[in-house]
Amino acid sequence: MLFLVPTPIGNLGDMTLRALEVLKSADVIGAEDTRHSGHLLRHFGIEKPLVSYHEHNEARRTQELMERLKRGENVAIISDAGMPGISDPGARLLSACIDAALPYTVLPGPSALITAIIGSGFPADAFYYGGFLPPKSGGRQRELEAAAQRQETSVFYESPHRLLKTLEAAVAALGERPVCVARELTKTFEEYRIGTSTELLAHYTAHPPKGEMAFLVRGLTAREWRNRA
Ligand code: SAM
Q: Residue 49: phi, psi to the nearest 5?
A: -60, 130
β pairing state of 213-217 and 153-158: antiparallel
The answer to whether the CB of 213 is under 6 A from ligand 1 is: yes
Q: How far is the CA of 11 from the centre of ligand 1 (A)?
A: 13
Q: How far apart are CA 159 and CA 26, in angstroms?
A: 33
Question: Which of the residues in the chain have pLDDT under 70?
Answer: 229
The CB-side HSE value for 124 (13 A sphere, CA atoms) comes to 9
Nearest protein Cα to ligand 1, atom 19: 112
Q: Is 82 strand, coil or helix?
A: strand
Residues contacting 125, CB < 8 A, separation 6+: none
Q: How far apart are CA 109 and CA 7, in angstroms?
A: 7
CA 181 to chain centre: 14
The answer to whether the CB of 143 is under 6 A from ligand 1 is: no
Q: Which domains does the chain have, with CATH numbers?
A: 2-106 (3.40.1010.10), 112-227 (3.30.950.10)
Task: Give the DSSP letter string of 165-198.
Answer: HHHHHHHHHHTT--EEEEESTTSTT-EEEEE-HH
pLDDT of residue 228: 81
pLDDT of residue 168: 98
β pairing state of 104-106 and 75-78: unpaired
Specify the pTM: 0.96
Q: How far is the CA of 216 from the centre of ligand 1 (A)?
A: 13
In this prediction, what percent of the chain has a pLDDT beyond 70?
100
Task: Give the DSSP letter string of 68-93.
Answer: HHHTT--EEEE-SSB-TTSSSS-HHH
Nearest protein Cα to ligand 1, atom 8: 87
